[in-house]
Every structure is written in C-alpha cells, then in structure tokens.
Amino acid sequence: MSDVLNAIVALVGIILGFAGVALTFITFFAPGTIQKLALKNPKSWARVPSQVPGNTTYRHRIYSGFTIDVDFSEPVSDNDYFEPWMDALYRPDQRAASYYVTLFFNGLPMDRLLFLQYDGTRNFIPAPIPRHVEGKIYYSFSPEQRKFADIVGYDYFDRSFSEVADIITTSRYNPLFLSTYDDDLNERLESLNNSINAFKSKFYDLK
C-alpha cells in the first residue's frame, strides 16, 4: 500500500514539475500567450493601489505579473477632446479628455491603448479605430479594445461596453461622410460667427 502511495506522490510531483517548467517557459519566453489568457476574464482583475498618484492600477489575480495602469495623471488631451462619432453619445457635459491605458508585464510595457473619458468624468471607453475609405470614415473597435474596456472601462448608466460600442458603430455618424461633416462644420462656424456678431452689437449698443 505504501509503495502505491509513494508511486502516486512521485507521479504527482513529476506532473507538477513539468507544469512548473511549462508555466515558467510561457511566462518568460511567451508572455503573449499568457496575455491572451489574462485578458480573457475581466473578473480576474482587481484594483490595487497605484504607485503613481492620480493613476488607477489593476492587477491580475492569478498572473500577478500583469498590471494595467490608467494614466489619469497625464492626460493626452485635457477636456478638449472631440471627434464626430462622439455626437452619437449622450453627453450633457461637453468636456472630454483622453488618456493612455497601458498593460505591463513585470514592469515592462506590453500594450497601450487610447481611452476617452467623456461627459465630464462619468464614462470611460476606448477611442474607436478610424478607417478612411473613399471619402468616408468608418469607426470600429478591436477585440483587444473590448477586452480592455471590460476591465477598466465604465459607463454612467451601467451599460456593458458592447452596448455603448453598438451605439457608436450603428449611429448615423458611422460611416462619417467627410463632405457632410465639412458642411456641418461650416454651419457650426457660421452659427458661432453670428453669435459673436450679435454679442458685439449688444456690446456696442451698451457703449
């Protein structure tokens, strides 16, 4: 009986040894493989204290070498971000800022995506990828963007990112006809100019 037990223990030890070697090889020589596994389940990530004041950091519960850092301390554009597709979103607060979201493995950057915080600070999503085709711009989101959004993104109405992405990609702003947008832009500029002239008239009347 003891011989059988010893054999089982030895076999388990061998299996665990091979598993450890395989995991070490994948971790250090094929981190991309682990990266795919790490991003697969957003519930496997937990928010942890950030080493940089103002930033937000997430760490994987199993593959602890992976962290995601949201660089809120250094905005790419601060409260003046705008692209035409944003008109498809409900955003009573017109302020919007963009930030980099970086995936690290043992402190080394593995991937970086641009995210947008819109309607003030109420929503946080990846900026869609534009593709120019014959005078049109098509906006879309990559599978990788969707995975990152499920981990670090948030929505004021508690909608999933898939719902928000559908609103953007199925809106009348996708595809965006550049000529139409140019006309729309001219209308906005003309309206702004009229408002300025009206203000000047009132100002001179007061004088």
pLDDT digits (tens, 9 = 90+) for 16-46: 555 444 445 455 556 678 888 999 999 999 9
Cβ atoms within 10 Å of 87's Cβ, excluding its own: 14
Residue 7's domain comprises 1-32
**79 and 154, same domain (yes or no):** yes
pLDDT at 201 over 90: no
86 lies in some domain: yes
192 lies in some domain: no
pLDDT cut 90: percent of the chain above it:
61
**51 and 24, same domain (yes or no):** no
Query: Distance between CA atoms of 201 and 125, rounded to whole angstroms?
Result: 43
Q: Where does the pLDDT of residue 187 fall: very low under 50, low under 70, confident under 90, or very high at 90 and above?
A: low
Task: Summarize pLDDT for 61-112 with one digit per residue, the tens.
Answer: 999 999 999 999 999 999 889 999 999 999 999 999 999 999 999 999 999 9
Number of domains in the chain: 2
pTM of the model: 0.73
**65 and 131, same domain (yes or no):** yes
As given in the structure block, the two tokens for residue 141 are 């989101």
- If one compares 98 and 188, the residue with the highest pLDDT of the two is 98
DSSP 63: S
pLDDT at 204 over 50: no
**104 and 19, same domain (yes or no):** no
Look at residue 21 in the predicted model and tell me its pLDDT: 45
Residues 188-200, mean pLDDT to the nearest whole number:
55
64 lies in some domain: yes
Query: Distance between CA atoms of 149 and 155, rounded to whole angstroms?
Result: 10
- If one compares 20 and 150, the residue with the highest pLDDT of the two is 150
Residues 1-5, mean pLDDT to the nearest whole number:
61
